[in-house]
Amino acid sequence: MNCIRCLVSGRVQGVFFRAATRSKAIELGLQGRARNLPDGRVEVIACGPHERLSQLQEWLWEGPSHARVSEVICEIVQEAEAFVGFETD
């Protein structure tokens, strides 16, 4: 299984970014989680087919309508947790 970890910066907390990410990930059939970080970023870990992970990465640059994304940094992760569904913390 392919997994990525993305850190999303900008105005991404308090604008339903995690919930919207969860909805998009479920739509794409991905598993993983989205959570707020203390520094104001959102961390997204997603696992699934490469093509669908690419679609999620593109979507992260947009996010929900009230978000203002300034940066998305993604990396492939080898040792991801075993996720069932898509969670938000």
The pLDDT of residue 22 is 97
Instruction: Say if pTM beats, i.e. exceeds, 0.75.
Output: yes
Residue 80 has pLDDT above 80, yes or no: no
- Looking at the structure of the chain, the number of domains it has is 1
Residue 2 has pLDDT above 80, yes or no: yes
Which range of residues forms the domain containing residue 47? 2-88
The catalytic residues are: 18, 36
Task: List the CATH number of the domain containing 70.
Answer: 3.30.70.100
b/e map of 52-73 (b: 16 or more CB within 10 Å)? bbebbeebbeebeeebebeebe
The pLDDT of residue 37 is 98
Q: Which amino acid is at 22?
A: R
Q: pLDDT tens digits, residue range 3-51?
A: 999 999 999 999 999 999 999 999 999 999 999 999 999 999 999 999 9
